[in-house]
Amino acid sequence: MSQLSYVSHTGGTAWDTYISQVDRVIPYLGHLARWSETLKRPKRALIVDVPIELDNGEVAHFEGYRVQHNLSRGPGKGGVRYHPDVTLEEVMALSAWMTVKCAAVNLPYGGAKGGIRVDPKKLSLKELERMTRRYTSEIGIIIGPQRDIPAPDVNTNGQIMAWMMDTYSMNTGTTATGVVTGKPLHLGGSLGRVKATGRGVFVTGREAARRLGLSLEGVRIAVQGMGNVGGAAAELFVQAGAKLVAVQDHTGTLVNPNGFDIADTMTVLHRDGGIGNYTGAERIDNEAFWDVDCDILIPAALESQITAARANRIKAKLVLEGANGPTLPDADDVLHDRGVLVVPDVICNAGGVTVSYFEWVQDFSSFFWSEDEINLRLDKIMVDALKKIWDTADRHKISLRTATFAVACERILTAREERGLYP
């Protein structure tokens, strides 16, 4: 029933991970299980050709996607990723996780995601702008403030959102601030959005640590990926008394059992775009990152990082999934059996889309909130959502991941059932 003809069935892809997560929740869906096939089929997937003229006069073609996984609870919502490994299947999985994530924190959105298979580091700024504008025009037939609202993801940022907003606005003859979120402040962006995902990771981590009886004072954290998510989360943990003992990014892996100097780390990061030249720590082999002695591990890079073999070596008591889909299903079982608590992506990193929602609401009302108000509201939404998930996990004696899926899928499938089948 769930075999999609355009999906490879070799196993191990992000989509396979997602499908196995859905299969695990079906026994807890009661009568709604009747609708569960909905979760295994994206509503709509668009593949677009993105041709651009390079600065040297040649023409290059890139393949782009926008997938709307489910729109039962509201317009599509989810980021746009620029990465050489982007595939349709990956974007499908990421869009499905957005559906679950938005429902887990009860935002009135469905799930969507976009991407272009490209290495943006090889493009000039002008080429990046041309590619973004052409991609936006191509997906313009399915996005819109009430239809599907893109946002930043891996290798995209406020500048790219500004070009997307402008392109959509030019094509529709409007000033459509609500068509994307994660915009610069002058264009209807929201205070607190840039660091919101990392803040959400911190808030869920703080709550989970409290339940484990783990004080944040002196707690040792290891972070994979020091981008928007990992960097902001690391800063907040260190402010709360934690010690950053290991960092891995595309420039290498560094450790210091006495703790990194966070201010120096951030300076190097902003200057070089990577931590490789930070001198206050020792460089180790990349694979040794998974053996590092730490209390909290924060994978905040890409999918499929925690394999079963790595899960067996992890020393942390708590894993906070800042990235989308970092843990493979068999690794999830290993961590569970070893008593390592995993706060899953679909709640852990939901802070970003939550503040995206605040941004969208502010754009519609043209009334903007203070940063304190944003951060307070974000904290409350994350704490309340996590509490409901934790209660569900305790009641059914299931993992936090399956509990998050249970809470979210009940909302998604209830909406599905109430709307009924058309025609």
399 binds ligand GLU (CB under 6 A): no
Can you read off the two tokens belonging to residue 83?
Answer: 């990465």
The residue range among 32-40, 72-80, 237-245, 295-303 that interacts with ligand GLU, by the rule CB under 6 A, is 72-80
Element (H, E) at 264: helix 262-272
77 binds ligand GLU (CB under 6 A): yes
Of the two residues 67 and 242, which places its CB atom closer to ligand GLU in the complex? 67
Among the listed residues 93, 275, 353, 381, the single contact to ligand GLU using CB under 6 A: 353
153 binds ligand GLU (CB under 6 A): yes
Q: Which residues lie across from 285 on neighbouring strands?
A: none
238 binds ligand GLU (CB under 6 A): no
Torsion angle of C-alpha atoms 89, 199, 76, 64, degrees rounded to 10: -40
Q: Quote the CA–CA distance of 357 and 365 in Å, as a whole number.
A: 12
How many residues interact with ligand GLU (rule CB under 6 A)?
11
**Residue 276: which of 248, 299, 257 has the closest Cα?**
248
Q: Quote the CA–CA distance of 369 and 392 in Å, as a whole number.
A: 33
Shortest distance, position 315 Cβ to ligand GLU, whole Å: 27
Q: Quote the CA–CA distance of 27 and 60 in Å, as a whole number.
A: 48
151 binds ligand GLU (CB under 6 A): yes
392 binds ligand GLU (CB under 6 A): no
Of the two residues 36 and 132, which places its CB atom closer to ligand GLU in the complex? 132
Of the two residues 79 and 189, which places its CB atom closer to ligand GLU in the complex? 79
- Window 22-61: contact mask with ligand GLU (x via CB under 6 A): ----------------------------------------
Alpha-carbon distances, residue 114 vs 90, 165, 368 (angstroms)? 10, 15, 27
Shortest distance, position 117 Cβ to ligand GLU, whole Å: 17
| Active-site residue flag, 113 | yes
99 binds ligand GLU (CB under 6 A): no
Shortest distance, position 205 Cβ to ligand GLU, whole Å: 16
- In eight-state DSSP terms, residue 144 is B
Among the listed residues 131, 246, 352, 416, the single contact to ligand GLU using CB under 6 A: 352
Could you say which of 77, 101, 113, 243 is catalytic?
113
Of the two residues 235 and 359, which places its CB atom closer to ligand GLU in the complex? 359
Torsion angle of C-alpha atoms 299, 301, 305, 310, degrees rounded to 10: -40
326 binds ligand GLU (CB under 6 A): no
79 binds ligand GLU (CB under 6 A): yes
Please name the residue that has the structure tokens 């290498």.
Answer: 252
- In eight-state DSSP terms, residue 136 is H
The residue range among 23-31, 77-85, 273-281, 382-390 that interacts with ligand GLU, by the rule CB under 6 A, is 77-85
Q: Quote the CA–CA distance of 48 and 66 in Å, as a whole number.
A: 8
Of the two residues 79 and 192, which places its CB atom closer to ligand GLU in the complex? 79
Q: What are phi and psi of 99, to 5 degrees?
A: -60, -50
Residue ranges in 32-157 assigned as alpha helix (H): 88-104, 125-139
Give residue number: closest CB to ligand GLU: 79
Q: Which amino acid is at 406?
A: A
- Window 176-215: contact mask with ligand GLU (x via CB under 6 A): -----x----------------------------------
3-state SS assignment for residue 338: coil
Q: Quote the CA–CA distance of 22 and 409 in Å, as a whole number.
A: 9
Q: Is 97 exposed, middle or buried (0-12, 13-18, 19+ CB in 10 A)?
A: buried
Q: Quote the CA–CA distance of 152 and 94 in Å, as a whole number.
A: 13
The residue range among 16-24, 299-307, 346-354, 414-422 that interacts with ligand GLU, by the rule CB under 6 A, is 346-354
Catalytic residues: 113
**Residues in the site for ligand GLU, rule: CB under 6 A?**
77-79, 151, 153, 181, 324, 349, 352-353, 356
